[in-house]
A = this chain, B = another copy of it.
């Protein structure tokens, strides 16, 4: 039998052949030019010899059959056995051991690393063998996917000889899925695993996800929220979770669970959950044994404790190491591991205390425990010391643990980076952390990637954890282009030395094919996207400047300050930035090894992009670039918003080359992003202008000659209101319609006759779908509904939205009117119109010229 997913795919060839089929994501297997792959004189094997019979090797066989069929339009015959093999051209698939047994002459002395593979083509007389050889079953599957990737990229297999092995044993995703089917910080629909308190009845998406994970070498997946629901460990729930694990198993993915440290009390009926109490130790041992009795390939547990209100060992005066080791000893006989999260901090810091610093917490809490963790415990450390901001330095804790296994936690779901509504390719950001040299050892390389893979300190039990939060959305992560982040996480975990450009180009080719224009445009869009997002959000390491105490999405500059959460940027009328120096600040910099600490401590050597993370400076402080800090803030925000707008045009140049549904899905999001980038630009620039009192040298900030404020228009029914925070509405005000029948705002056009673009800025609240009509001289020229589901039901930086009507003929004296019809609890809120000379004719010609 074929495994479930492959059978479905084979049975529905037309579905899968579509480029960018959402279920298959980058495994689209489009037609390729067989002559590139098998040049003249190199034959396509017509038979597959499977040397092994395991479930995972069967998945390798199915993937090879499917991929070759869809890409080369060939269905290989599967040889019944090695003995009966007569064919001359054979694709041979098996483990090192199986291959050596079949043909001892093919054995290679140097063994493959664990989970590694070797791909080679061997010509022996009339016989040609294309060999996929794995160190083990997983290696076979990873080798199969690697071969398919080479074919998809139309790379010649004539002289094939590739040997690879993964960088580290832990290559997991975490999914923050709750049993009710919601996903904490998930932006792509509901859980593929859970619904209404139990495992979802329809588990059809799980096999598709397991394929995706395996295809990039991910070997573990934690399927529930780190803020864990203890009930999942109850027997009836474990039986359901075993169904998920059975699917994962065929793709070599080990299922794991996040656990609640208080479980022995909350579901076990004990009077304590003190990890060192004998009855608690016994309870955990029994529970872990029970888990393995129903989930034989269980991977282990993830623990978030003593953080953000979660129960933990500190309640009993125990250390994280003591707690972790109890679990580790219960798991050890079964081969399981403990991932203990280093994300432990106090969220009731005193914001008036200049020495208080949340960034210190990880190192302060874990450094002294180094050496106290068992060897199957891994401390899971977020890549930066705060919480996935748009720019952070690498966490000093990486160098702070030298006798402990470590895993770097990267966040694939874009919590602080646009929530998959903004295009942000995160691999370059992750690479900044992975490539940071901690200067922790004189003898061995000590980049973060060297530390987590055990090269620096020899602690080789760790690796990579990515918080993915995929959902039922057809594109898994909402934004079709965001899948490059899941792909990139897997590829970096396999080989952190890969470049951002290499990874994104692989993804683009596997998803959209090998067309040079498509590759060039999408690769550039992705590679520029993080920088663009950083430009219009938080500058110079000050944090994302989003609404930090709520939903982490739109601008909310002051939300960071004057609370205990510690994500402070300390901006006031004189200057901005957290002083984390040893000399005058919180001393955080002192947590780094001396050479790196010296670099950050000195204003001379601290990189501009981390300046406000490390130092507090006045607004007129000059960067290495020569600009003042305040002018840098203004300039980058205008540059970022302009670059976000240019991404729309770049994508439009591919109109004929991208599958229709995906093209429009991405276009819709890019247009939205371009509008929201203006909201960000204005909010940040005007807040700093107001706070600093320093004018923009280029006279852009707070000056909008093309703008007509709604509150200054002739209003019928509409009434002005103040918006909070003030910087998220132009002039801090908007108008709302309280009448049932609709309202209108009018203005007389007073500029020269011509073609114009008319942008209508409004608020699209979650709880309602107002209808807007734009009229010129009483004729409707556009209508639209404000029915997006943005994450707020207020007028604020999350809901501020822009709709642009391009190429409108306007004459001096024309009446421009916006009619708003409220719906639900949304009063058709209107902020302003912005009318600019039209660029509408340009894309038409560009599109034609590009053909």
Contacts and interface: CB of A to CB of B under 8 A. Distances in A.
Interface of A: 1-2, 7, 10-14, 18-19, 31-35, 46-47, 61, 65, 69, 72-80, 86-87, 515, 656-657, 659-661, 664, 667-668, 753-755, 776-785, 805-811, 814, 840-841, 843-845, 847-848, 851
Given A10-B783, A11-B782, A667-B14, A844 B47 contact: no
A811 B656 CA distance: 42
A10 B47 CA distance: 56
Contacts of A72: 807, 841, 844
Given A11-B783, A777-B78, A34 B73 contact: no
A12 B659 CA distance: 19
Contact of A809 (B12, B47, B844): B47
Contacts of A667: 14
A786 to B, nearest CB: 12
Contact of A808 (B77, B661, B785): B77
A7 B782 CA distance: 8
Nearest to A778: B80
A661 B664 contact: no
A838 to B, nearest CB: 8
10 contacts: A11-B785, A18-B664, A31-B844, A46-B811, A47-B811, A72-B807, A72-B841, A74-B807, A75-B805, A87-B753
A contact patch SS? mixed
Closest 7 CB pairs of A and B: A46-B809, A78-B779, A11-B783, A73-B840, A77-B809, A75-B808, A74-B807
B755 A46 contact: yes
Contacts of A35: 845
A73 to B, nearest CB: 4
Contacts of A783: 2, 7, 10-11
Given A33-B848, A656-B657, 10 more contacts: A1-B780, A2-B783, A7-B783, A12-B784, A74-B808, A74-B809, A75-B807, A78-B776, A86-B753, A661-B661
Nearest to A76: B809
Nearest to A774: B75
A69 to B, nearest CB: 7
Contact of A33 (B73, B776, B844): B844
A79 B33 CA distance: 57
Contacts of A657: 656
Contacts of A10: 780-783
Given A34-B841, A34-B845, A664-B18, A65 B809 contact: no
Nearest to A671: B14
Contacts of A34: 841, 844-845
A13 B660 CA distance: 14
A638 B504 CA distance: 50
Given A31-B847, A664-B14, A848-B33, A2 B808 contact: no
A2 B780 contact: yes
Given A78-B776, A781-B75, A33 B660 contact: no
A74 B1 CA distance: 58
A834 to B, nearest CB: 16
Contact of A840 (B74, B660, B779): B74
A73 B656 contact: no
A808 B47 CA distance: 10
A807 B781 CA distance: 54
Contact of A77 (B61, B73, B814): B814
Contacts of A785: 11
Number of copies: 2
A88 to B, nearest CB: 9
Contacts of A811: 46-47, 77, 86-87
A79 B777 CA distance: 7
A840 B13 CA distance: 14
Contacts of A840: 73-74
B32 A668 contact: no
A155 to B, nearest CB: 15
A69 B806 CA distance: 9
Nearest to A61: B779
A440 to B, nearest CB: 51
A32 B31 CA distance: 30
A19, A79, A660, A847 — which one has the most chain B CB atoms within 10 A of its CB? Answer: A660
Contacts of A814: 77
Contacts of A778: 78, 80
A660 to B, nearest CB: 4
A463 B189 CA distance: 56
Nearest to A772: B11
Contacts of A32: 844
Nearest to A154: B848
A76 B755 CA distance: 9
A832 to B, nearest CB: 19
A845 B660 CA distance: 24
Contacts of A7: 780, 783
A175 to B, nearest CB: 30
Nearest to A782: B10
A53 to B, nearest CB: 12
Given A32-B844, A782-B10, A844-B31, A753 B46 contact: yes
Contacts of A843: 31, 73
A623 to B, nearest CB: 41
Nearest to A839: B73
A18 B80 CA distance: 49
A668 B14 contact: yes
Nearest to A776: B77
A12, A61, A657, A844 — which one has the most chain B CB atoms within 10 A of its CB? Answer: A844
A352 B811 CA distance: 81
Contacts of A61: 779
Contacts of A87: 753, 809, 811
A1 B780 CA distance: 7
Contacts of A755: 46, 74
A491 B834 CA distance: 44
A80 B814 CA distance: 9
Nearest to A775: B78
Contact of A810 (B77, B781, B845): B77
A754 B10 CA distance: 22
A814 B80 CA distance: 9
Contacts of A807: 69, 72-75
A384 B11 CA distance: 44
A55 to B, nearest CB: 15
A72 B776 CA distance: 19
Contacts of A810: 77
Contacts of A659: 660
Nearest to A74: B807
Nearest to A36: B848
A851 B841 CA distance: 27
Nearest to A806: B73
A224 B19 CA distance: 42
Contacts of A12: 784
A67 to B, nearest CB: 13
A73 B844 CA distance: 8
A86, A657, A779, A848 — which one has the most chain B CB atoms within 10 A of its CB? Answer: A779
Contacts of A1: 780
A845 B74 contact: no
A7, A75, A79 — which one has the most chain B CB atoms within 10 A of its CB? Answer: A75
Contact of A75 (B14, B754, B782, B845): B782
B845 A11 contact: no
A668 B13 CA distance: 11
B805 A73 contact: no
